[in-house]
Structures are given as C-alpha cells and as structure tokens.
Structure 1
C-alpha cells in the first residue's frame, strides 16, 4: 500500500495539482478506497418486481431473468438488496430456495482471497456485507441453512471470511432454539383466521392445563344474526368459580384485546367478574417448626385459589370470533349457558371498545390484521 502511494505521488500530474494528491490522501484516511460504507439507493422499486402475481415462482423467475440478461453481474448488489426488501411481499421470506437463488447470483471463485493479506483487509467488503444481509434475513425468519448454502459460500468467498463464520454460527445456534417454542405453529404459517384463532386461544389458556378450547357455530344459536365461528376456552376450575358466583352481581364481557400469532394478530374477549375477597395464607412448605397434627382438627373445605383470580377480577372464559361483533359475543354467552346454567340468572354487561381497520406495523414490516370493527359500549343480558 505504501509503494502505491509513493508511486502515485511521483506522477507529474499529481505533482502539478496538489488538490489531486490531497484528495487521494483523504480517500485513504476516510477508508473510502478500501471500503465505501454508503449503501446504494434502492428505495425505488425496480421494474423487475412490479408484477401483479407475487408468488414464489415469479420471484425465482425474476432472478433467472436477471442472471440471463446481466451476465457480468454489474448491479448484483443493488439487485440482491432490493430482492431482500420484497421477499415478504412474494411470500418467500421463509423459503430456503429463495435464499439459495440470491446467493447463486454471486459468481464463483471471484471473491476468494488468495493470500493472508487479502483476508486481513476484508476482501471485497461490499459483497461480503450483502451476503451477510442474506444470512441475517434467514436468521430473522428462522430459516436454518443447509449444507448446500455452506458449499455455495465456500465456492464464492472461500473459508476464511465473515460470511462463513456467520454460517457456522447459524449451524450451531439455530437448531438449538428452533424447537423451544412452547406454542409451535406449522410452517408456512396458515393464513386462515379460524386456524390462527385456535392457536391463539391455546396459547392464552396454556396457563391452565385443564382448559378446553371448544368450537361453536352461531347458526346453532336461535335468533343469531351473524353466521360465523366462535372459539371458547374454559377450564373445570373456571366452571367451579362461576358456579359460586352471586347472582346479584353482574359479569362483564370486555375487549377486544390483541394477541400475536406468528406474523398475524387477532382479537379476543374475556368474561370476567369482580375479584373474590378472601384471606389467602401463604406458608413455607419446608418449615417444620410449627407442625400440626390434622387428625383432631376441624377441616374447612374451600375452593383453592386458582390462577384465574387476579387483582382486577376473576376470568371465567375467553373467546375469539370471526366477526368480533356484539351479536357474536351474545351468541357465545348463550352457548356457555348450556354447560353453565347459572349464566341465565346473572346479568351480563358488554363493555366493548371500537376497533379500527388500520394495520399494525413492527419494524417497518406490514403485518396483517384479523379483525373487524366492533360496536360501541353497550349493555345487555
């Protein structure tokens, strides 16, 4: 590097024009010659991705057309970065074949370092950064690389680079964490609201192992207006708490509350009442200093404290419907009356909040909303 600078300074053109010499020195000091950190402007959607049918086959065909038309790969970095932005729209962000197609854009053997000095100076930094973006995108979407990906990286960049280190790190860590989700969802993620509602209620009700998720149909309820489905979750302990509920105190149907299921969120409602006031005595099970013999004591049989009794009230049931409307919630209460006859004697207040059709966003990625507008606060029985 020093010989290059000395040889440039000896050129007659640079000697006459000091500004050229100063520019070269500033470029080296700012690391602009070795590595330009400014990313290309890829905010404008290229004409390749302006298609009406955005599916996996179209995405792979766009990549094939680009490799056929641009044999020299002049704009390969801009194309790959743009393709990464639109993978979610084409629905290929969880498909390993799409990531292999993007890695296949890099020519083989051109970026392999030939000596230790090229390895030290971060050989072809922009290309390695782009390849790291592909691997980071895979990691964000829980896509585990296979040995074909490792072979492609080895042929493109060699074995002594950050891309290969990142691939080895994903090989080690991702299989360890891929099966740790206690509420697994099939891949690819289903888009049916009914299926997602079942997974969401199972996730919420997993705090009580005895909770059962039941499917109701509003068409089975007399005088029902909406024709939709209702998923309801209720356990045996919740039924016991509801059986001793005073009939002079009303219950409330509150909501909607939101829960995320993979990339989607759905609305659910709860049936709750006022908190139960009773004395709860906490003791240490390992303390034997004051041991009592229970044979001559009088027992007081009470309902044990459950996880459904919270400070803000007692949660008796949870539901999610296809329309999230007041009529579907009224049909839900009538379905619960078949297994809980005490609900016919207790007044129920519907305390609902209005919904909007605006989509939620997380980290600038549009997420889909599975809900409709709910009615304003009303009361009924």
Structure 2
C-alpha cells in the first residue's frame, strides 16, 4: 500500500504548527509504511524528512482545483492532507483530509502570511459552517488531532464521513531535565501574537512577579511588538526574542520555571506537550483543549485574570511542589507519540483501501 502525504504546507525556514505536524507525521509514518510526499517548493525539503517526493503546484494556486490530475498518475492508494483544502475533483485514490480546530469561526482573523485574496476568502469561508461541510465530505475519512475538536465537529455536524484522531505529539524525546536541579526565575511563551492568544494578560500578570522574566520567543512584527511593549507594567521584565532556534528553545525550556499560555482558544497546544516532555511545568488557561493535553500535570487559570496567572506561578516557587509537577509533566507527555499517530494513520489507510475495494466489488 502506497501512502502519499501532502507536505506543501511546510514552511521554508521555520516550522509553524501545521508545518511541524505534517513533517513529523511523514517521518514517523515512513518508518512503518511506503510513504512519499508532495511539495510545492524545493526549499521545503530543508524541514522535511528524506523520503521520495513530487514537486507540484502550490496548494494556494487556482490549479489546486484540478490537482488530482497530477496525483492520479503517482499510483498512491491513499493521499493524506494535513489541511482540508486539497482539491479532489476526479481523484482515483483514497483521501484523508484534516481539520485541526475550529478557532477561526470564533476568531476569524486569518494568518498574515496568506495572500490578500486568500485572506478575504478565509473570512468569508468562516462566516458559516456549510462550506466546511462541503470540503470535509469530499474525503473518505476526516482526521483531527484531539477529542476536543472531534466533539465540536459532532456538535456542528461538520461531516458525514468517519472521523479518526491522528494526534499531535512532541518531537522525539530528549532526556528530561533533572528536577533536583531546579529552575531559574523565567517564564516562556511560545506562540503567535494574534489577539486570541491573549499575551496581554501574561504581560499584565508580570506586575506581581517582579523577580521573574517573561520571555516571548516567537517572531513578531514591529507594530505588534510596539503595542505590547507599551503594556509592560513598571518594574516588570519582558524580553522579546523575535524567534529562536529549536536548540535555543530546548535550552530555555530546560532552565525555565514554567511554560505559560493564556490563549482563549487553541487547536491543540503543542508547546505544552513539548515543555512537559522535558519536565517543564505548564501554566495554562482553563480551556477544554488544554485540559485534554495537560491532564493533571498542568496548572489551569482563568485566562482573563492576571492575578490568577501570577498566583499559579507563585506556587511553583516551592521546590518540592515544582519537582513533583516536573515529574508528573514527563509522565503526561509520554502519553503522546508520533509513532502511535503513524500507526493510527496506517490503520486508517488500510480501512480506506478495504472500503474502496468493497465498493468496487459491488459495482
């Protein structure tokens, strides 16, 4: 059985969430199945595993409507797209489309890297659920990454197709930090600066944590940085990194008191799992997806309360408590695995091939 995974959403220089998800899933699945991938730019190969690939059009191109004409000759039994937008007209292969979350129905501002015409269509698309249903029902199976999103899909009846969970996971485990070594007085935030990420409350909470430094690690536009800098309370310490390498990120995670996120909505919360896998405690907003990911290991707070956030950090000053949380975090993160996600994908692909074979025999 041949599985073809769409890697055209891979970034060129650094991963975002979708990019890392696709690359990690390709790498893990290639260890147990016959896998190749689609790319739209040779620069994507720098962030992708070494598996066979085919270069085709961008997924944002008008040619995407007829992409099956290019994919059919490749002989794939099942094609897997880490998004739900892949063209499907005229396909003769099984298709898995992925819906990560429903954030943009509540927070419709599109990612800034999209071309202006696509951003306009993005906003229009998220004004109703029927376009989503049309997209998802073109697949043989719809994948998602969490029980939280699966439940929302059922609530809004977004698809009549089978839904399978092919979860996100941290990168291959490194040795967790030694809990006895303690931590420095820093807090880390890894994520975008879109309004629903609620970085403003993190910054406001630093007024009650004058001996801590909040490190904002992600890339940020000069305009957004200036807005947030004006919000930093007197005496508070906030550092803008405007991007860090994977090695720098890991080094910071192994020294910090906690990774923090007060996002009001998330598709998954991969930074939480990445932190926990290294034994770093997490302070997060009390939303369903973070509860699903963090389990009993994370500390949950009201995302609208700077005081609650600061109080949760204060509790981590107790070294015995911090060490206990660190150990529980490692155990929790171990429940998420790319190998398990790859096995689920391969099982899904086998089910699709079997179902398509049965339909052909009935004709």
- TM-score bin, normalised by smaller chain: under 0.3
For the pair shown, the structure with the greater C-alpha radius of gyration is 1
TM-score by length of 1: 0.22
Which is bigger in relative contact order (C-alpha 8 A, separation at least 6)? 2
